[in-house]
Amino acid sequence: MDYAYSGISNRIFRSEIREILKWTRKPGMISFGGGLPDPSLFPIDEIAEITGKVLKEKGYLALQYGPTQGEHEMLEALIAHMDEFGDRTTKEQICITSSSQQGLDLLALLFIDEGSPIVMESPSYLGGIQAFARAGADMHPIPLHADGMDLDRLEKVLKDLEAQGRKPRFIYVIPDYQNPSGITMTLSHRERLIDLARQYGVVLVEDSPYRELSFTGEVLPSLWTLSGGKGVIMLKTFSKVLFPGMRMGWIVAEEAVIDKVVMLKQSVDLCTPSFTQLILAEYIRRGRMRQSIERAIECYRPKLKAMLAALEKHMPADVTWSVPTGGMFIWLTLPERIDTKEIFMTVIEHNVAYVIGRPFHCDHSGGNTLRLNYSFPSIEKIDAGIERLASAIRDVL
């Protein structure tokens, strides 16, 4: 059969990362690959208990279609959850999504036409790049430094686009413990970013899965809060702070935007399951979310410390890395002449895996970079794995 595929289908590609992560299943392998939470943190017994309770008490709702925007109880729970982290919202400003990836998909559908300019940090989240590329976006990368995106460069790009009569549909940023770099945007950067976005009339998309995972106790104000909820769209998810299995997230934005998002979501999946929303709403209502986040921080903080110490101990002098204060990732930069994809199989022979850096760059640069995840492996494996990685890198150097 000669299938007449859509134009969009030509813009989807198999993730290079998924292909190479197949190798991580090899016995004896230590993987710093995926961005997975530590499964020992999953509150399995309590979720089982709440599931039974929801079915018994509200099964008629849980197993029914629900409102596209989300279950009332879930929206209320999210308002309280966000308030704890300094972010004020109202029910009208939230739409539940089937996790952040759906949020990214909805925003791509809502804002991007073929050739629409958008601006993003480089490196940035691969799943975002995939969603925007599929929509046909013309992506403009802005280099990321230790304090956030290069704002002088951003200003220049915005000015150049304006001179061409083109306005970016949005600026996509991950201000807290960024995926893949682990970098957090400083407060002064956040403020200047908002000023620049306002000056050029461009919307900010703030993707924020890691914000709650601060290992220092300090959580910087979100762009959403700093902007007074104007001109910022925030994407949130439970995937990293709780678990990804229920695929639960939400979008926060001005009412008029949420209205559009809700209409769009109706055509995408009608609603996120009421069943899982009612379970998580009860979990949050019991105050268990806060405890889960604290447990995750207690689990990941020593893992980060162990990975930084192992890098310091084992890595050759011409390898550098980011020093995050939260989240799940460390970003390594190797000498320019090394391509982390080319050396991947050599490294795999040392029974250790990472994620290559190039797919995180919308301009396909960054061949000498790689991402390490520390939330999933145990502390013992972190030290052993970094020693193996350093030895493999030394071999290729």
Q: How far is the CB of 97 from ligand PLP (least distance, A)?
A: 8
Q: How far is the CB of 76 from ligand PLP (least distance, A)?
A: 21
- By CB under 6 A, is residue 385 in contact with ligand PLP? no
Near ligand PLP by CB under 6 A, which window of 83-91, 220-228, 237-245, 360-368? 237-245
- By CB under 6 A, is residue 100 in contact with ligand PLP? yes
- By CB under 6 A, is residue 249 in contact with ligand PLP? yes
User: How far is residue 327 from each of residues 161, 294, 298, 321, measured CA to CA in Å?
Assistant: 33, 13, 12, 15
- By CB under 6 A, is residue 222 in contact with ligand PLP? no
Quote the tokens at residue 166: 């083109």
- By CB under 6 A, is residue 373 in contact with ligand PLP? no
Near ligand PLP by CB under 6 A, which window of 93-101, 181-189, 216-224, 281-289? 93-101
- By CB under 6 A, is residue 207 in contact with ligand PLP? yes
Q: How far is the CB of 334 from ligand PLP (least distance, A)?
A: 22
Q: What does the alpha-carbon distance between residue 239 and residue 56 come to, in Å, rounded to a whole number?
A: 26
Near ligand PLP by CB under 6 A, which window of 96-104, 281-289, 299-307, 314-322? 96-104
Given a contact cutoff of 8 angstroms between Cβ atoms, the answer to whether 148 and 206 are in contact is no
Of 170 and 200, which has the nearer Cβ to ligand PLP? 170
Of 68 and 99, which has the nearer Cβ to ligand PLP? 99
- By CB under 6 A, is residue 33 in contact with ligand PLP? no
- By CB under 6 A, is residue 239 in contact with ligand PLP? yes
Q: How far is the CB of 91 from ligand PLP (least distance, A)?
A: 21
> Judging by DSSP bridges, how do beta strands 320-321 and 329-333 pair with one another?
antiparallel
- By CB under 6 A, is residue 244 in contact with ligand PLP? yes
Other beta carbons less than 10 A from residue 264's beta carbon:
16
Binder of ligand PLP out of 130, 179, 340, 373 (CB under 6 A):
179
Of 35 and 148, which has the nearer Cβ to ligand PLP? 35
Binder of ligand PLP out of 68, 101, 276, 340 (CB under 6 A):
101
- By CB under 6 A, is residue 117 in contact with ligand PLP? no
Of 240 and 303, which has the nearer Cβ to ligand PLP? 240
Q: What does the alpha-carbon distance between residue 61 and residue 50 come to, in Å, rounded to a whole number?
A: 15
What is the side-by-side order of every strand in the sheet holding 320-321? 320-321, 329-333, 369-373, 355-356
- By CB under 6 A, is residue 181 in contact with ligand PLP? no
Of 102 and 351, which has the nearer Cβ to ligand PLP? 102
Near ligand PLP by CB under 6 A, which window of 97-105, 270-278, 300-308, 341-349? 97-105
Q: What does the alpha-carbon distance between residue 30 and residue 384 come to, in Å, rounded to a whole number?
A: 8
Binder of ligand PLP out of 94, 120, 151, 174 (CB under 6 A):
174
Q: How far is the CB of 299 from ligand PLP (least distance, A)?
A: 18
Number of residues that bind ligand PLP (CB under 6 A): 14
Residues that bind ligand PLP (CB under 6 A): 35, 99-101, 125, 127, 174, 179, 207, 209, 237, 239, 244, 249
